[in-house]
Amino acid sequence: MRGRLAVSSAIALIALLLSSHAVAGAPPLVTEVSIDGDVDLNNRVRYGFQTVEGSERYNIQYSDVPFTNLSESVYNGQSQPGPQAWILVSPEPADDPESAETLKFLICWWAQLELPDSLAGDFQSNPDWREPTFQVGMPIVPPEAVSVVCDLPGIVRGQEVYIATVSVDANGEFVDEGLEVLSAVTLAESAKPPDPDMTSVYIAIGVILGSLCLTAAVLYFISPSKRERSGYLFILPAILLLATLTFYPVGYGIYLSFTDESAENYGQGEFVGLDNYETLFSDERDYDGDGDPGFWRTFTFTLVWTFGCVAMHMLLGVMFAMLLESGIIGKVAWRTILLIPWAVPGYISVIMWRGMLNRFGWVNGILTSDIDYLGLDNWAKFSVIFVNIWMGFSFMTMTTSGALAGIPKDMYEAANIDGVGRYHRFRHLTLPQLMPALVPLSLLGMIWTFNLFHVIFLMTGGGPDRFYGEPGVTDILVTFVYDVAFIDGEYGLGAAWSVVIFLMLIIFSTAYLVVTKGGEVEG
Region 296-315 residues binding other proteins, contact defined as CB under 8 A: none
When the beta carbons of 35 and 309 are compared against other proteins, the nearer one is 309
When the beta carbons of 154 and 365 are compared against other proteins, the nearer one is 365
111 φ, ψ (degrees, to nearest 5): -155, 165
Q: How far is the CB of 354 from other proteins (least distance, A)?
A: 8
CA distance 388 to 254: 30
Q: Are strands 45-50 and 107-111 parallel, antiparallel or unpaired?
A: unpaired
Map residue 290 onto helix, strand or coil: coil
Give yes or no for residue 162 binding other proteins (CB under 8 A): no
- Give, as one character, the DSSP assignment of residue 76: T
Size of the site for other proteins (CB under 8 A): 117
- Site track for other proteins across 446-465, x = CB under 8 A: -x--xx-xx--xx--x----
The reply to whether omega before 464 is within 30° of 0 (cis) is yes
Instruction: Give CA separation, 488 vs 174, 237, 262, 483, in Å.
Output: 33, 37, 9, 6
- Please give the residues from 350 up to 369 whose contact with other proteins meets the rule CB under 8 A: 351-356, 358, 360-362, 365-369
Which residues sit opposite 182 in a β-bridge? 20, 163
- Please give the residues from 218 up to 257 whose contact with other proteins meets the rule CB under 8 A: 219, 223, 225, 227-235, 237-239, 241-242, 245-247, 249-250, 252-253, 256
From 146-154, 282-290, 306-314, 478-486, give the range in contact with other proteins by CB under 8 A. 478-486
Gyration radius from the chain CA atoms: 30
When the beta carbons of 112 and 159 are compared against other proteins, the nearer one is 159
When the beta carbons of 28 and 361 are compared against other proteins, the nearer one is 361
- Give, as one character, the DSSP assignment of residue 189: P
Give yes or no for residue 342 binding other proteins (CB under 8 A): yes
When the beta carbons of 247 and 281 are compared against other proteins, the nearer one is 247
Q: How far is the CB of 164 from other proteins (least distance, A)?
A: 21
- Please give the residues from 69 up to 108 whose contact with other proteins meets the rule CB under 8 A: 76-80
Q: How far is the CB of 204 from other proteins (least distance, A)?
A: 10
With residue 390 as reference, give the H or E element that holds it. Answer: helix 377-405
- Please give the residues from 269 up to 298 whose contact with other proteins meets the rule CB under 8 A: none
Provide the sign of the torsion angle of the four alpha carbons 204, 207, 208, 209, taken in this order: positive
Q: How far is the CB of 471 from other proteins (least distance, A)?
A: 14
From 133-141, 163-171, 279-287, 479-487, give the range in contact with other proteins by CB under 8 A. 479-487
- Please give the residues from 366 up to 405 whose contact with other proteins meets the rule CB under 8 A: 366-371, 390, 394-395, 398-399, 402-403
Q: How far is the CB of 333 from other proteins (least distance, A)?
A: 9
Instruction: Give CA separation, 65 vs 71, 131, 163, in Å.
Output: 12, 31, 10
CA distance 185 to 177: 26
State which of residues 441, 456, 459, 473 lies at the interface with other proteins (CB under 8 A).
Answer: 441
Q: How far is the CB of 340 from other proteins (least distance, A)?
A: 5
When the beta carbons of 141 and 485 are compared against other proteins, the nearer one is 485
State which of residues 83, 153, 392, 494 lies at the interface with other proteins (CB under 8 A).
Answer: 494
Instruction: Give CA separation, 411 vs 197, 408, 428, 436, in Å.
Output: 67, 6, 11, 18
Asked whether the beta carbons of 32 and 42 are under 8 A apart, the reply is: no
Residues sharing a CB contact under 8 Å with residue 179, sequence separation 6 or more, in sequence order = 22, 23, 26, 28, 29, 68, 69, 70, 164, 166
